[in-house]
Structure 1
């Protein structure tokens, strides 16, 4: 994939994420998808395969009444892309980690992507 095709794929993935449209998100990922979320140097979520990613996505949408990711920068190679992301969400209910219902959560970070067969093969979120 070239840079334009890669960016379009990532835009489709993030748009589906923002809409909380899990079926549309899964259309952009390879069946062998590997997902990892790293926050503060600690891996706090992983999923291997589309089935696990679907389950993780279904679990995570209940945490937010709304959420939005925006790509701030985009770096591309033939097999990888790295994007800087701004994330904003509103918490849907009080959470065990101390976040409260209606609290606004704003983070920035980087997401690294790898590709195979025109789809996203690996996603590593780092914040």
Structure 2
């Protein structure tokens, strides 16, 4: 979480397996899938330019066998205009859930739901 809030991609991905699978779900539908640490880092570097500031705050943690689910409050200020009509300088506030799946003490899958 700290790495994400600080825009530090290396810190953010430190505990990820090289074969990480990232999925983003919005309204129950997958709108992005990224396979592998190199592609995830590339996407994370690109995404840094989208926000002036961003902060995730964990509000709940639940552990289930090889998975950990966290509930998140997310606040960001946009650095660019988005195709969906959101404008630079607007504040974005969301609630979401991230599910981390572990294998050999590394994160092998991350699913973000909003």
Residues in 2 aligned to 1:45 and 1:52: alpha-carbon distance in whole angstroms: 12
Q: Distance in 2 between matches of 1:120 and 1:85?
A: 18
Decide which structure has greater helix share.
Answer: 1
* TM-score normalised by structure 2 residue count: 0.94
Q: Deviations over 1:7-66 (max 9, x none)?
A: xxxxxxx11011010011121211111101111223222211101101110111111011
Aligned to 2:95: 108
- Matching of residues 1-127 of structure 1 within 5 Å: 14-127=1-114
Q: How many residues align?
A: 114
TM-score (norm 1): 0.85
Distance 2:73 2:103 in 1: 26
Structure 2 gap ranges (5+): none
**Over 4 Å off, 4+ runs:** none
User: Which segments of 5 or more consecutive residues in structure 1 lack a partner in the other structure?
Assistant: 1-13
Q: Select the structure that is richer in strand.
A: 2
